[in-house]
Amino acid sequence: MYTIQGMIRKSINNTYTQFERLGYVGNNLANFNTHAYKTVRFEQMLGEDGYLKGAIRSNFAQGSIRITSNPYDVAIDGQGFIPVVSPSGVVEYTRDGSFKQGKDGYLVTNDDWIVGEGIKIPTNCYKFQIKENGDVVAYDAADSNEKYLGNIPLVRFASPENLEQSDMNRFKTTDESGEAVLVKEHNCFKQNNIETSNTNIYNSTSEMLRLNASMIASMRMLKVVDDMYNKAINIREG
């Protein structure tokens, strides 16, 4: 049998859990237009003690691939991530292939992380091409032979859902995700394309409305229990 204090504690805990989940749903909606963004879901369960508990998981389902006609854009069609390196040497992983030509001509992310081991694109080249296997080649003229510049690596993880989200749509490895494994043979890259967010705006909006209604109901219940508690105190003092 629960005491009034126990009911109040459980109501506060459950309301806080719902509020936290609402925050993740709101973040998904806010990133609806973020390239290759992966929806975060908050899995909650009711414990034997009556408290709601939750775990954060990323949904790595493939997002739609959109043509951009930008030669620096590259989408991953299938599973995997592109390793990128910060100016200080930190390695993280992304599916956001909206790259650019950075300092000294290297292929970089929008926040200037080096793609792969460093691929320098000549400023005066006629054009460059990113092949499906990640090889990057350049042409000095329309009829010239290709010049190999490097390769954009593709890596995969044993348990990608356990990757830790980082800044700017990147991910970090964890003990549960396992280490990155290089995919040597593939045809997953699509130049002049970009992967869109896999957020379902209709499902997310519906879930937000349900959570909001649930939070209102929990707060009303908390008010009822609080009133009961105050009446019990008054009776005891009387």
Q: Are residues 103 and 203 in the same domain?
A: no
> By three-state DSSP, how is residue 214 classified?
helix
Residue span of the structural domain in which 167 resides: 65-195
Instruction: State whether 163 and 79 are in the same domain.
Output: yes
185 and 203, same domain (yes or no): no
Work out how many domains the chain is built from and give that number.
Answer: 2
Domain shared by 100 and 190, yes or no: yes
34 and 86 within one domain: no
Residues 121 and 52 in one domain: no
The answer on 104 and 84 residing in a single domain is yes
Terminal Cα distance for the chain, rounded: 25
Q: What is the pLDDT of residue 204?
A: 75
pLDDT in tens, the chain (238 residues): 456 566 666 666 666 777 777 777 878 888 888 999 998 877 666 666 656 566 677 889 999 999 998 999 999 999 999 999 999 999 999 999 999 999 889 999 999 999 999 999 998 888 999 999 999 999 988 778 899 999 999 999 999 988 988 888 999 999 999 999 999 999 999 999 999 999 888 887 777 777 777 677 767 766 766 676 676 666 655 5
Same domain? 30 vs 136: no
Instruction: Give the model's pLDDT for residue 58.
Output: 83
Q: Give the integer Cα–Cα distance in Å for 134 and 117.
A: 12
Instruction: Report pLDDT digits (tens) over 20-55.
Output: 777 778 788 888 889 999 988 776 666 666 565 666
Question: What is the predicted pLDDT for the residue at 150?
Answer: 95
Specify whether 71 is located in the same domain as 35: no
Whether residues 70 and 137 share a domain: the answer is yes
Check residue 56 and give its pLDDT: 73
Q: Pick the closest to residue 86 from 168, 183, 175 (CA basis).
A: 168
Instruction: State whether 165 and 114 are in the same domain.
Output: yes
Q: Which two tokens stand for residue 69?
A: 């006609």
β-pairing verdict for 52-58 and 65-67: unpaired
What pLDDT score was predicted for residue 1? 44
Looking at the structure, do residues 96 and 70 belong to the same domain, yes or no? yes
